């Protein structure tokens, strides 16, 4: 197993399977299988460890933590294109112009 998969395959890890809306959670990691449950539905199933690693490696299984971290909370200024964390729309069309651009600096 590769390190990034070992890091991923931990009990309690929540992930999405690409194309599916459900949230999956790892409830058991064994030497030959991963036991996964669908959150809110509670039907457990086993995935062979090799299949699980393949699914992870090709990006089909995506950790939800990673998705949240990749989400940028903020906006790009539509004039200078700089990214401003926590910025909110301040124009009528839903875009954001930063303070510098609005001030004409």
Query: Least separation, in Å, of the C-beta of 86 and Zn ion?
Result: 15
Length of the chain: 105
Compare residues 27 and 80 and give the one whose CB is closer to Zn ion.
Answer: 80
Query: Least separation, in Å, of the C-beta of 71 and Zn ion?
Result: 22
Query: Least separation, in Å, of the C-beta of 82 and Zn ion?
Result: 6
Does residue 38 contact residue 24 with C-beta atoms inside 8 Å? Answer: yes
Binding site for Zn ion (CB under 5 A): 77, 79-80, 98, 101
**3-state DSSP assignment of residue 90:** coil
Burial environment of residue 49 by CB neighbours within 10 A (0 to 12, 13 to 18, 19 or more): middle
Compare residues 9 and 77 and give the one whose CB is closer to Zn ion.
Answer: 77
């Amino acid at each position: 197993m590769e390190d990034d998969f070992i890091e991923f395959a931990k009990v309690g890890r929540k992930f999405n399977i690409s194309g599916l809306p459900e949230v999956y959670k790892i409830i058991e990691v064994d030497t030959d299988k991963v036991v996964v449950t669908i959150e809110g539905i509670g039907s457990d199933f086993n995935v062979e460890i090799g299949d699980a690693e393949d699914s992870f490696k090709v990006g089909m299984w995506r950790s939800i933590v990673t998705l949240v971290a990749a989400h940028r909370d903020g906006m790009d200024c539509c004039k200078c294109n700089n990214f401003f964390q926590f910025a909110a729309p301040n124009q009528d069309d839903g875009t954001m112009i930063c303070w510098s651009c609005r001030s004409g600096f």
